[in-house]
Structure 1
Amino acid sequence: MLPAARHQAIVDTVQRERVVRVSDLAQQLGVSLMTVRRDIELLEESGKVERIHGGAKLPGGATTHEPGFELKSTQFPAEKRSIAVEAAGMVHEGMAVGLSAGTTTWALAQELVKGPRITVVTNSVRIADLFHQGAAAGAPFGSTVILIGGERTPSDALVGPIATAALKQLHLDLLFLGVHGMDPDAGFTTPNLLEAETDRAFVAASRKLVVLADHTKWGTQGMSTIAALEEADEVISDAGLSADARRILEESVSRLRIAGQP
């Protein structure tokens, strides 16, 4: 294969998979690891890919852009619902469950309103309202909802020192964490510094961390890291998650679940 064709194949694979390993590219192209590394260096110089440890990813630095809740709620609703249904099966009567703010955790809350009686701790106004509306509509089970205070972000998360201080007093069985991105180097991230701090307090207060992230979050970096991949006990994603992403996550977290698959 000529270098130009090889370079195009690498770019096509990165655009499709978002993050790829040198070893996988070498096997795919039938060339040495050194050849692939040199190709990636050249492609990085032209801005077509970005080098990371052991591979390459889509170019672009960490983002501080934070879309609003309304926009995010319209993106990949079927995938988010499938993740929510999978996650809801982990919740049992009497649990103390943390739900961070986000549209995937909001989808999970829609399932939990119908589920067993639990104590929910959240920094999401939307999630708290959902449980309140369920109680007002005569939902068969009544869960206790604790809404922590703080400064409100564009994604309707309550964050900052007040939120963090409240979480330091609590002990949760399980945390479902929504994220802006997940990346081999950056881990689980968010564009908002205060939200990252509050989410880290959520993680510290919880016995088990379950990250809910659809496949589009792979290879995306927010400006601030919440946790390394290795800190998650489980990740629940959807069938659109690439094979390479699945391999990396399976090596990093205790368990990777793909919603709808055994």
Structure 2
Amino acid sequence: MAKKENRALPVERQEHITSRLRDHASVAFRELADELSVSIMTIRRDAATLERKGVLTLTAGGVARRQRLAVARPTPPHDGVGVASATLRALRQGALIYLDSGAQAVSFMQITASRTDLSVVTPSLDAAEVLQHHTCEVIITGGRLDRRTKKFGGPVATAVVAQLAIDFAILTDPSATEGDAGHELGGVINNAAAEVLIVGPPSHGRP
């Protein structure tokens, strides 16, 4: 007798797969199929969809957490320009970039002015204002606004970015910031993004 499949929607199954990879580096197709009461073929289709979105990597017998490409921590501002330039220009079509607050982060993003196919998510009102003059799609995280830094944070912002498959993140060095505002959000990005560039301290307000 054929096994009766779970009626969960594809998006629900895919969220389960993604959630499992937050806790485990890899998970077998068979294990996921048993957990969701579906066939291995169904899991393979869901996994292939998530791979196309850049969420995970397919292996011979299952799925694996997406391998991080690199982490760069340049000290002088100019050290990161070459890294940012090469990475931003090489990103796949439709890639998603996370842009933190800070003058350096925003200046690096200027490199993408000619890339009309990219999407950028940011918690920073200043960054969003600069990016409105670009042709890329701009997404603001929302959440609790810090009026001093003009940056969103808190559980709402964290929940939003935790659901995204970020290809490249430009983060402000957390050791150079005051207090813990935005540190939780930065931690989520630092762990989830495929590639991370950490730049110098933020510039609060306009010069």
TM-score, normalization by structure 2: 0.52
Partners of 2:179 and 2:113 in 1: CA distance:
28
Change (3 A) 1:114 1:206: same
From 165, 168, 172, the counterpart of 1:174 = 168
- Structure 1 Cα separation of the partners of residues 117 and 132 of structure 2: 14
Deviation at 1:209, TM superposition (A): 1.9
Q: Secondary structure at the match of 1:211?
A: strand
SS at match of 2:197: strand
Q: SS in structure 1 opposite 2:198? A: strand
Q: Which amino acid aligns with 2:154?
A: G
Paired residue for 1:89? 86
Shift of 1:85: 5.3
Q: What secondary structure does 1:121 align onto? A: strand
Q: 1:179 and 1:200, CA in 2 relative to 1: closer, same or farther beyond 3 A? A: same
What's the counterpart of residue 198 of structure 2? Answer: 211
Kindly indicate whether the alpha-carbon contact (under 8 Å) linking 1:84 and 1:105 is maintained by their aligned counterparts in 2.
no
- Secondary structure at the residue paired with 2:194? coil
Amino acid at match of 1:110: Q
The structure with more radius of gyration: 1
Residue in 1 aligned with 2:105? 105
**Alpha-carbon distance between aligned partners in 1 of 2:127 and 2:114, rounded to the nearest angstrom:** 13
List runs of 5+ in structure 2 lacking aligned partners.
Answer: 1-75, 203-207
CA contact 1:167–1:205 (8 Å) conserved in 2: no
Q: Which amino acid aligns with 1:148?
A: T
Which secondary structure does the structure 2 equivalent of 1:113 belong to? helix
- Superposed CA RMSD in Å reads 2.5
> Deviation at 1:102?
1.5
Q: CA deviation at 1:101?
A: 1.4
C-alpha separation in 2, matches of 1:176 and 1:101: 9
Q: Structure 1 length as normaliser, TM-score?
A: 0.42
Match status 1:152 vs 2:110: no
Structure 1's 119 and 161: CA in aligned 2 closer, same or farther, altered over 3 A?
same
Shift of 1:105: 0.6
- What amino acid maps onto 1:172 in structure 2? I
Are 1:165 and 2:159 an aligned pair? yes
Is the contact between residue 80 and residue 197 of structure 2 (CA under 8 Å) also seen in structure 1? no
Note if 1:132 corresponds to 2:132.
yes
1:221-256 deviations in Å (ceiling 9; x for gaps)? xxxxxxxxxxxxxxxxxxxxxxxxxxxxxxxxxxxx
Partners of 2:78 and 2:150 in 1: CA distance: 19
| Kept after mapping to 2: 8 A contact 1:88/1:108 | yes
Alpha-carbon separation, structure 1, partners of 2:126 and 2:189? 18
Q: Report sequence identity in percent.
A: 21
How many residue pairs get aligned? The number is 123
